[in-house]
Amino acid sequence: MRLIPYTAALALLLAAAPAMAAPPTEIAFARFFGSCEADYGKSTDPASATGECGIITALVNKFNATNREQVVVRTQVVEHGSYYSQLGARIVGRDVPAVAILHSSALNDFVKRGLVAPLDDEFRAAGIDVADFTPQAETAVTVDRRHYALPFDTHSWLWHLNLNLMRRAGLVTKDGKPVLPHSPQQLLDQARRFKAATGKPYFIWMTDNDPAFFPRTMLSLIHQQGGTLFPQDDFHIDLHSPAVRSAVRMLKTMYEEGLTTRGNDYGAALQNFAAGEGAVMINGTWIIGDMLHQAARPGSATAHGYTAVPFPQLYGTSAVWADNHIMVLLKGGTSDERSRHAAVSFLKFLYDEGGVWARTGQLPTRRSVIESATFRQLPLRSEIATIARDGVALPIEVARQAIVAKTMGDAMTSAIAYGADVDQSMSRAETSINRMLERDSQFKGGAVVPPTAQQH
């Protein structure tokens, strides 16, 4: 019997089992949405999970369990409020995750600083069809005609309605539909009528510690008037236009007449709506599931009397503020072509699972999903699907949008809720924003990410 030399035998063994020799490719995924490992740490069925944390956790678990390329995604959870500051510190320290979730309103800051690159070639190779992106999602991830991110969802403002209270004011039709206003005057008339009939404010507003509330609402009203906050260029905001004045005047009138709650932060607004302290809460798509669950409880203020609609058209155009959660591949987050390919494979998986994530209340970013019977059979989804067409935001090229929104929000809160002079408040905000953006226009690059937090 002829013996095989040791080196030849070793070569044959390695050739016979190449898969056993290759270790899995690990990539890091940075996200918010909280941690829920105790409930969903082992779940691989997103369809049985609930809430943003549960569904995203189960999605990652499913990918790890089912992908055939020996890719393992390691999730790194960061609290929402500190997410951008921590991500910025990690980038500076060269501890960069491969995939990170961002808001589309923050994308241009990352593009301008050279922290992300276009993904068009990767999308084509992976079979991610950008032609299937909804109009709103396409705008949200496109800078200079190139796609820099995968849109994951669209989230927006809704009117969450207590039909039980509205019925007492005669603001529900015979078939149970809410009577919605279609002009500023109709809105004021209905709000006054509601308060006279119930003794409660028509609106539940988030006026304390939530500087995003007023800018998102005003942006909706500006675009409904066919206006824009940046008519000149991306470095100069206009807070003195007739459209801005009209929006602020209407909001201020409602507050002064007691047609809205006072002193509510985000949590208090949710509590007051649950307690039946107002007819309409302006809040996001992301709470639909919680509101439906609440309305299903016998004896609750909204029992058999809850619905949600997109922000009503009060002027000539349908428009409502919208933002997106998007997925980016950060430069320096992958060390070689293999890990880069693994990260793109994860993006393709998330693209394919867009319908599952829509169960959170967020809207899908694919036309084929949002037009599907599966999506439209979810409660209230057919009613809010128009947001994928009508969603508006600040121009994506505007830098430091979280700071822009906070400065606007502080000025509007001061003028509407605390009686400051409207012209002076808006003028100071305009000057502050424009100075910041003009300085930013001179910025030539770098790795500093603005440490700003956002609510959803």
Cα separation, 203 vs 212, in Å, equals 17
Q: Is the dihedral of CA 95, 100, 106, 108 positive or negative?
A: positive
* Domains identified in the chain, total number: 2
Query: Same domain, yes or no, for 399 and 339?
Result: no
Instruction: For residue 172, tell me if it sits in a domain.
Output: yes
- Say what the pLDDT of residue 11 is: 52
Residue type, 268: A
Averaged pLDDT, 320-329: 97
Instruction: For residue 7, tell me if it sits in a domain.
Output: no
Query: Same domain, yes or no, for 246 and 340?
Result: no
Torsion of CA 394, 400, 402, 407, to 10 degrees: -90
In 63-93, which positions are buried (b, 16+ CB within 10 angstroms) versus exposed (e)? Answer: bbeebeeebebebebbeeeebbebbbebbee
pLDDT digits (tens, 9 = 90+) for 36-83: 999 999 999 999 998 899 999 999 999 999 999 999 999 999 998 899
Tokens representing residue 255 in the block: 């507050």
pLDDT at 446 > cutoff 60: no
pLDDT at 98 > cutoff 60: yes
Longest dimension (CA), the chain: 104
Cα separation, 279 vs 283, in Å, equals 13
Averaged pLDDT, 264-272: 96
Averaged pLDDT, 269-280: 97
Range of 366's domain? Answer: 24-155+323-386
Averaged pLDDT, 108-134: 95
Cα separation, 179 vs 138, in Å, equals 33
Cα separation, 449 vs 456, in Å, equals 18
Tell me the three state secondary structure of residue 153.
Answer: strand
Tokens representing residue 252 in the block: 């201020």
Tell me the three state secondary structure of residue 48.
Answer: helix
pLDDT at 263 > cutoff 60: yes
Averaged pLDDT, 226-238: 95
Give the chain's radius of gyration (CA, Å): 25
Least confident of 15-29, 144-158, 251-265, 284-298: 15-29
Averaged pLDDT, 273-293: 95
Query: Same domain, yes or no, for 132 and 246?
Result: no
Instruction: For residue 179, tell me if it sits in a domain.
Output: yes
Burial of 177 (0-12, 13-18, 19+ CB in 10 A): exposed
Query: Same domain, yes or no, for 202 and 266?
Result: yes
- Say what the pLDDT of residue 441 is: 73
Query: Same domain, yes or no, for 274 and 373?
Result: no
Query: Same domain, yes or no, for 86 and 143?
Result: yes
Q: What integer best gives the mean pLDDT of the chain? A: 91
Query: Same domain, yes or no, for 205 and 294?
Result: yes
Q: Which helix (H) or strand (E) holds 122?
A: helix 120-126
Residue 27, CA atoms < 13 Å, CB-side half-sphere:
29
- As a whole-number percent, the residues of the chain with pLDDT over 70 amount to 92
Residue type, 291: M
Task: Indicate the pLDDT class of residue 5, thresholds 50, 70 and 90.
Answer: low
- Say what the pLDDT of residue 336 is: 93
* Domain limit, last residue, from 369, 386, 403: 386
The CATH number of whichever domain residue 381 belongs to comes to: 3.40.190.10
* Domain limit, last residue, from 349, 365, 386: 386
pLDDT at 395 > cutoff 60: yes
Question: What are the φ/ψ torsions at residue 75 (nearest 5 degrees)?
Answer: -80, 135
Task: Indicate the pLDDT class of residue 339, thresholds 50, 70 and 90.
Answer: very high
Query: Same domain, yes or no, for 141 and 217?
Result: no
pLDDT at 455 > cutoff 70: no
Tokens representing residue 251 in the block: 């909001």
Q: Indicate the DSSP class of residue 409.
A: H
Tokens representing residue 167 in the block: 């019925």
Query: Same domain, yes or no, for 162 and 260?
Result: yes
- Say what the pLDDT of residue 448 is: 45
* Distance from the first to the final alpha carbon of the chain: 72
Task: Indicate the pLDDT class of residue 394, thresholds 50, 70 and 90.
Answer: very high
pLDDT at 355 > cutoff 60: yes
Residue 214, CA atoms < 13 Å, CB-side half-sphere:
28
CB distance 23 to 342 below 8 Å: no
pLDDT digits (tens, 9 = 90+) for 424-436: 999 999 999 999 9
Burial of 4 (0-12, 13-18, 19+ CB in 10 A): exposed
Instruction: For residue 38, tell me if it sits in a domain.
Output: yes
Query: Same domain, yes or no, for 171 and 256?
Result: yes
CB distance 29 to 76 below 8 Å: yes
pLDDT digits (tens, 9 = 90+) for 187-228: 999 999 999 999 999 999 999 988 899 999 999 999 999 999
Strands (E) in 194-251, as ranges, are: 203-204
Query: Same domain, yes or no, for 332 and 347?
Result: yes
Tokens representing residue 428 in the block: 């100071």
Distances (CA, A) of 355 to 12, 20, 345: 46, 35, 18
Task: Indicate the pLDDT class of residue 447, thresholds 50, 70 and 90.
Answer: very low
Question: Concatenated DSSP letters for 24-40?
Answer: PEEEEEEE-S---HHHH
Instruction: For residue 17, tell me if it sits in a domain.
Output: no
